[in-house]
Every structure is written in C-alpha cells, then in structure tokens.
Chains A and B, each alone.
Chain A
Amino acid sequence: MMIRKIALTGALLQLLLVASASAQCTIRLSGTITDTETRQVLSGASITVKETGQAVQSDASGAYLLEGLCPGNYTVRVSHIGCVPVEIAWQVIRDERRNIALPHSITRLQEVAVTGHAAKEVTTAPVETLSGRELDKTRGLTLGDALKRVNGVTTMTTGPNVSKPVINGLHSNRILILNNGIRQEGQQWGSEHAPEVDPFLASKLIVIKGAGSLRYGGDAIGGVVLAEPKPLPVTPGLGGEVNFAGFSNNRLGAVSAILEQQVPEVPGLSWRLQGTVRKGGNTRTPDYWLDNTGVEELNFSVAAGWKRPDYGVELFYSQFNTSLGVFEGSHIGNRGDLEEVIRQGKPRPEYTEGFSYEIDRPYQRVEHELFKIKSFLNTGEAGRLNLVLARQFNYRDELDRNSALSVNQMNLNLTTYNGELVWDHHDWKGLRGTVGATGMYQDNSYQRRLFVPNYESLQWGAFWTEKWESSDNKWLLEGGIRYDNKRFYNLGDNLGEKSFPEQDFSSFSGSLGAQYRILDHFHVSLNAARAWRAAAVNELYATGLHHGAAVYVDGDPYLDPEIASKFNLSLHYDIGEKLEADVNLYYNYIRNFIFQQPTDSIVVTIRGAFPYTYFRQSDVSMKGMDAQLRWHFLPKWQLSTKASILRAWNETDNDWLIAMPSDRFEHELSFFPGNTKRLKENYISLSVSNVLEQTRTPANLTDKSDPRGQDLMAPPAGYTLLNLEAGSTLQLGGQPLSVIIGAGNLLNARYRDYMNFFRYFADEPGTNVYLKLKLPLQFRKNKS
C-alpha cells in the first residue's frame, strides 16, 4: 500500500517537478504507429500518458499527436485491439516525432520499437544543445570554452582563464546567458569579465543563435545561452553524481559533486546540493610559463522544491567564488611598455619563470550570488502561470600590480533584482504560446578607481509569443512581439564630482519564423527578427584608463540603441545515426552598432601618453554561415565536419569591423570499436581544428597599407591544432564510470589567436593532456 502510494505520488511529482525545469509545457509528441510484422499503419491505437492521464487515438493514417506536455520522463502506454498493452519509458525534452512499431500479436513486449527523432528546433531560430557525452567532454572547462563545441560559437579571451562566448561575432551584452532560468547579471561588459556560471551545474547547455528569443529579452541580439540543471529528482531515494577533471598543462583539477533526494516521507519535496572546486596553476605555452595565471574556484548551490498537483514552489541559491591570476606581463599600464613587449615578440623573462599555484597581484576576485524563488499555479485546463523572483549580487575586485605609486584597485558591486510573470497557454486551435512581463532593477557602485560610474537602472518588458503547427506536422509557424524600456539614473556621486546624464530607452522587438518539413528527414526554416538593445553602461559612461589594454576609453552618453534585423535560413537533414547535416545562413544588419573606435589622438596622463578610444556607432552588416555534417560512413567510423564563416562589414565607413572571429573549420574522425564485456560506449577520435588568419580588419587611419590596420599589431597567423580523445564507460561496483582521456594541442603548436587579448604579449597554451571521470551514484533502496 505504502509503496503504491509512493509510486503514485512519484508519478505525480514526476509531472510536476519536471514541469518546473522549463516553464514551457507546450511540448508535442507525434508520429506514426505501425505493425512490426505487417508494416501496416495501425489506426485506432490508443496512446496514454500514464502520468498525465492524457489519451489520444491514432487516426486512419496511424498518426498520433500528444500535446501540452512538460519536459520530463513519462510512461507512455500504447494499446491496440487484440494486443497486450505495452509501456514505453519516454524522456521528453522538446517537440519530438517518434514512430512506434507495435508487435501486433504480442509475445515479447521487448520488441516494441520506438524510432524517430527529436525535432532539433524548439523554435525556427537555429538552436544547438550540448548534453550527455558532448557535455561530459567539456567538463572542467569554463562556460565560454565549453560552448566552443557549438558551431558558430567562438570565444573572446583574456589569457588562459577568462573566456566569454561569441555567437556569430557578437558577444558581451549582446548575448544573454540564462543561469538556471535567470539572466546572468555581472559586469559582463568587460572583455576580461567572464560569466560567473559554474558549468557543472548544468545538465545541458543550449545556444539559441540569433535574435528570435523574445521570451528572454529583446536585447539578446547576438543570441541566448541557457545553462540548465536537471529537474529535481522525482523518484524516492538518494542519488547523485561525482565528476572529476584533471588537466596537465596548468595542473588544473576540478571536482564537482551532486547529491539529491526526493524525500520519501514527504510527498512532493525534493532537494539537491551541488558543489565544485577548481584549482589550477600557471599555464605553459610551448616555450615558457605564464607566471601568475592560476585560478581558484569554489562554487556551490542548494535547491529545494515542493510541488502539489496544481501549484508548486522551488528555491535555489548558488554562490560562485573565484580568484583569477592575471599574467604579470600583461598588466602594462603604459603604452611604451606595451609597444616594447610587442616588439620583443614574447614576454620579459621575469614573467615566464615557472610553475606555481600561487596567485599574486595583479589578480581578480569575483563573487556571484543568486537566489531564486520560482512558483507555478495551474490555471485549469487552459494553461499555467509562472512567477519567478530572483536576486543577484556581483562583487568584483580588480587588483592591479602592486606598487607604492599606482591607483591599484577597483571594486565593483552590482545588485540585481529580477521578476518575471509568465502565462503559458496549452494548445488552443493549434496555437501554443506564452505571454508575460519581466522587470529588473540594478544598482551598481564602485570604490576606488573610477571606470564605470555609480548608477541605478530599471528595465521592464512585456512579450507575447505564439507557435502554430499544422496537424500533419509539415508546417511550424511562430511569431512574437516584445516591448522593452530601459532607464539609467542616479549617476551622480562619483569621484572627481563627475556627473553623467540620465538615459531612457524604449522600443519594440519582434520575430517571425516558419519551418517546412519537405520530407520526414529534411526541413527548412526561415526566421526573421528585429531586436533592439540599449547601450550598456560602459558604452554610455565609461571614462578612464583601461589598464590591461593600455588605452584611454570614453563612453558616449548619447548613443542610440542598436537595432538589429536578422534573417536566418537553415536547412536540416537528419536520417538518425547515419547522417545529419545542418546549414545555417544568416544575414544580420545592425543599425547603430556600438564599438570601440581606436584613434590617433593621445591622452597624456601621469603614466605617459595613451591612445584615445571612444565608443561610436555605425551601420554594420554581418553575414555568415555555420555548417556541419556528421556522417557514419562505415559501421564503426564517423566523420564530422564543421565550418563557420563570418563577414562583418562596417557600412558607414566602408571598411571591415575590428575584433571579429576569423573563419574556422573543424574535422573529427571517430572510431567506435564496439562494446566489450567490461567496456561500453567506447570511442577514439582525432580532430583537427583550423583557424584562418583574420585578414579582414579595418585599415590604418593614416596608412591604408599598414597590415596592422587600427590595431597595435597585425592579426596573428592562422593555425591548425590536432587533438586526440578516447572514452569509455566501465562498470565500477555496479555503477557506470565514464572515462574520457585526451590531449589538446597534441603537437605543442606555437600560435596566437586574434580573439585573445593576450595575443600582444604571449603565445597560447601548449599541449594539454586531460582525464575526465564521471560516476553517477544511486543509493535507492525502495525499488518499487
């Protein structure tokens, strides 16, 4: 009796808890039911979702359609007259088409075959997801580096430890990062400010390229990155996972553990504890060490959820703490010194001495805290109301190289409150949609050195999106509209009695998309979006010397908002395991694109003369292509190829845009030897990544033939890296231990990357051998 009760509550919980993973309970499952023996379609078969009680029947052509599901695990029961009903465990993440082959005269239940595939696109905008093995391969890396596995995503880095994602050439404030559903709000404007997100917390990383994601904010003109944790557990018992990653180059070790439980005694109550420790020392390039490039990170999170059939609440608290050493030879603070380092082609010997875990000045210390309350209420059959409230604290200390003379510290303190009220409506005449409003308040203060002023900011928006799918699954149409307002105020009270004008921006954004399934395995999508982004605080109000870059930066408080018109055309061909091909072509025209313009003028300071740079606007166009192919060309061999090409042109100046990623290609050959008794899911793969030299940089203001353009030095040469990796899963005391071992930059190639600010001073890291282990833990006693 007890067990049954638990099972029942478990099933209920399953539905409710997974529902909270994503607010969108609008997933649809569809496909055709056939007879395994006769291959004929089965009409009138009934399909029941045990957890929701939803039941549908297949039509005359054997097609079935289940709608209004939330992400999660379901038990789908399929029955047909004269058959013993069968049950299929089905993990639902997004819209899916799966065909079910039902043995008409059932003798063995195991013969039920579910084929088909998940529709890759949740929207008509290009979406890519890293999860499972692909995500395991990135364990131990920072969020930015992990996302590099996604085609079209590159990174902008400041040395070995700080990396930020760049989607199709756009980064920082143009990319929205959602950490567990909340807009990550740190000092994301600085190139040396990496997102304060622990990737170990996520069970999947989703990248939405392009501007179509109105739900998350109209300002995401570059795209959206979602770091999503697993839903809280729904089956009673204690479980968890331990991850370990070790890297040879900087002797970095990372350990992350999760412990979670659905409390058996309390229906509806689940909790999770998660923690990560990461520590690395100095990084080594092929020829020398980079002193003071260590990193220390300590993160943890606590989550608890309590759900009833029609309402539920979830609490989440996380803390991200890191200390990042900044390579001593990079903290220049004087233009002459910078030019001297560039002339020498390598850092001075006193900065390249050897290995140490010690972090000394200059360094950064960052703490990020997130507290979130999420709740939902079912509004009858019609839909579901979701309320999310969150608060974030972001503390950042930047300590320059210590000297009796320097102004050597900047402390930034940003507090953010977010609120979001969203109503998801279930299927209504083929339409599924979401309507909602969001609000955000921010308060920033600094101490010591001034770079961005004290300010307060208030932002609110309202949106409405709808999606329609034809009943034959051929067409998917979607569209949405959003209105945003953003205001900066209280900018007084700054050092030197500097005062800045207030600003108030507002506008509409919208998107429209269509997808047509030409064949079952081949579809084409077209998406058009207009997005809008108000200038960020540094673009408006920055003032002062940027120590790392050795330039003087001036904001412009009268910048107009950026308006992006983006068009995506994507083709997707997918015949399951055998072959998958994707091509995404995009054209993005951005009016009033904001960027930092180098100039010939200099600002004279007590540290010498510095080039003056300022934020300005131009109309720019960005067109490009991301393409990938995965081909299982022989039973045990797979080839995958990715290409990413971008052309970014400044229409106003009739010249190239500065700081844009160059073309890159990646090829990977994998061999799957097959399972042995003890080793399963084995693979070995060799990959070649090829990054071309960036030849498209803006011309020198005075000398057009100068290869350096407006930069201090010409873009570095292209490079090719070789990487080798092997993985396996072995049984360890009844638990499957997954092992990945590999080496990056196998040949210890010496190279520099155009998107790394350190290209002026130092080479990129040399060979890096790594080992990654993952051990899922199950302590369930009640196997009901």
Chain B
Amino acid sequence: MRKTLSVFAVMIALLFAACKKEKNEPQEENDNEEITTVKLTFTNAANATDVVVANWKNLGGDGSTPVIDEISLKANTTYTVTTELFDERKNPADTITHEIEEEADEHRIFHLFFLNANESVADSLSAVATVTPLDKDDNNLPIGLEITLATKGAFTGFFRTVVRHQPGSKDGTYGPGSTDLLAEFPLKIQ
C-alpha cells in the first residue's frame, strides 16, 4: 500500500513538473520597427537651394490622425526626390530607410499621382509628371528611394508614395507582393 501511494505521489510530482513554470514575462519594449514618418525632399535640379520638404507623420500610431504636409511644386520643373522613412517614436529617431537599402531586391518604391484621395492604383495619372528612378538593386531593377520628377503643367490632386514588398517576385512592376507603406500627400503644381 505504501508502495502504491509513493508511486502515485511520484506520478503527481511528474505531472506538475511537466507543467510550464514560465510566468508572463514583463512587457518588453516594442522591438518591431514601426514607421511613423515619411519624409520627401524635393530638390530643384536647376537650383540646389530650391528645396521642398514634405512630411507624413503619425506619431500617435494607427487610429490617431496623422499630420500631412501639402506638397507644392513648380510646373515644368525637374526635381530630385529622396524618400526617407523614420520611426520617430524612438529617441533618437530610427532611420528605417537603411533596411530598404539592405533588402533592395525585395522592395520597390512607387510615386504616383491621383486626382482624388484613396483612388485605386489603376487610376493613377501619368500625364502629371515623369518619374525616373535613379537607384538600382543587384538585379538591375529600380528601387525608387531616389528619383527625378519632371513636372508638366499645373495640377491639383494627390501624390502617393508606396513601398511595395515583393520578395522573390520583384519584376519592376507594381503588381507582385504587398504594400508595406502607403502615404498620400495633397499636391499642388503651379
């Protein structure tokens, strides 16, 4: 009988031991990168002192109202445009643009023009300006972090920056993959 009880006690002990003792770990800092800010810098190719900077900021996170600058450009002018991404919730602000550079063969940044906000990509306008990517990945496909943008006539509408994530399927077009980031700015060309 004593043997029975001891066998039983061992079994219980084993069962308890088999259970996780792991407690809820203390809340970790959010170590994922979250983009809060898209910064576009437009530099007039003919005049390096003519610089337009536009920010799309959402420091409050999803659900809070973002602060979006209006972009105002000159008609019939060529600009060099750089796109930078930051996580400004971190101090100092984290530059996420590097990660796109590292994974250049998986990413492609598009700059598109629309008449109205939140329109389908299919409705993007090609007559507003000519966009030419300046950077290339290892497969000789454009990345789009640096572009030249040659405006045409006067226009009022929207300028959209889209980061497409296209692992294994990047072919230079918009279609493959998914959208990592989509920031839309009001645009005025005059």
List residues of A whose CB falls within 8 A of some B CB: 266, 269, 271, 302, 304, 306, 315, 317, 331-334, 336-337, 339-340, 348, 350, 369, 371, 391, 393, 401-409, 413, 415, 443, 445, 447-449, 454, 493, 495-496, 543-545, 552, 554, 602-609
Contact = CB atoms under 8 A, between A and B. Distances in A.
Contacts of A304: 8, 11, 15
A407 B182 contact: no
Chain A CB within 10 A, most for which of B7, B36, B178 = B178
7 contacts: A306-B8, A336-B179, A393-B20, A404-B99, A405-B181, A407-B30, A407-B34
Interface in B49-71: 56, 58, 60-63, 65-66
Chain A CB within 10 A, most for which of B12, B60, B96 = B12
A447 B61 CA distance: 16
A405 B163 contact: yes
A403 B7 contact: no
B81 to A, nearest CB: 19
B62 A603 contact: yes
A340 B121 contact: yes
Contact of B66 (A306, A332, A407, A604): A604
A606 B58 contact: yes
A774 B121 CA distance: 55
A495 B29 CA distance: 9
B176 interface: yes
A403 B180 contact: yes
Contacts of A605: 58, 62-63, 66
B138 interface: no
Contacts of B121: 336, 340
**Interface class of chain A by DSSP:** strand
A609 B102 CA distance: 27
A401 B165 contact: yes
Contacts of B38: 606
Interface in B157-190: 163, 165, 167-169, 175-184
B72 to A, nearest CB: 21
A761 to B, nearest CB: 12
Given A409-B32, A447-B27, A606-B183, A302 B15 contact: yes
A633 B58 CA distance: 70
B38 to A, nearest CB: 7
Contacts of B182: 334, 336, 606-609
Contacts of B7: 266, 269
Nearest to B65: A604
B59 to A, nearest CB: 10
B102 A404 contact: yes
A543 B15 CA distance: 39
Interface string B20-60: 10001101101111111010000000000000000010101
Nearest to A410: B32
B127 interface: no
A752 to B, nearest CB: 21
Given A413-B24, A603-B63, A405 B11 contact: no
B15 A315 contact: yes
Nearest to A496: B61
A405 B24 contact: no
B96 A404 contact: yes
Contacts of B100: 404-405
A350 B165 contact: no
A178 B169 CA distance: 45
Interface in B95-112: 96, 99-100, 102-103, 106-107
A404 B60 contact: no
Nearest to A391: B19
B27 A445 contact: yes
A10 B66 CA distance: 73
B140 interface: no
A407 B4 contact: no
A350 B168 contact: yes
B96 to A, nearest CB: 6
Nearest to A334: B179
B183 to A, nearest CB: 6
Given A405-B96, A409-B32, A315 B4 contact: no
A340 B18 CA distance: 49
Contacts of A339: 120
B30 A334 contact: no
Contacts of B117: 609
B118 interface: yes
A412 to B, nearest CB: 11
